[in-house]
Amino acid sequence: MNTTQQRLTTRGQIIALREEGLTVMSVCHSVNGISGYDTGDPKTILCLFSERRPRPRLTTKDEDAVIIAAIQNNPFSNAVAIREVLHLDVCAQTVSQVTFA
């Protein structure tokens, strides 16, 4: 089992223990001995293995399609120019990242 699989397994165990109603300290004691983590600190367990929600998207799928079309129509344009032409309320970095999403 590689490190990523081990961390996912451990994360699953921690989430299951929390869903069963165990306190954070009880979870820390149950998973004590995880290499690479300070398992004595409850904040570490909560930060590393709590459920995380993804960051909300700043552009819609329609806006993404329009950005990609604008780039294909004018490949020598930059993100700032595309943002201004399309009147988007996002930063230039967001416009440039749409092409890599």
Q: Is the dihedral of CA 90, 93, 99, 101 positive or negative?
A: negative
Between 77 and 51, the more confident residue is 77
pLDDT of residue 75: 87
For residues 99 and 95, give the distance between their C-alpha atoms in angstroms, rounded to a whole number. 8
For residues 65 and 70, give the distance between their C-alpha atoms in angstroms, rounded to a whole number. 9
State the pTM of this model.
0.49
For residues 42 and 7, give the distance between their C-alpha atoms in angstroms, rounded to a whole number. 17
- Can you tell me the mean pLDDT for 65-92? 91
- Can you tell me the mean pLDDT for 16-42? 67
DSSP 63-98: HHHHHHHHHHH-TT--HHHHHHHHT-SS-HHHHHHH
- Can you tell me the mean pLDDT for 17-30? 77
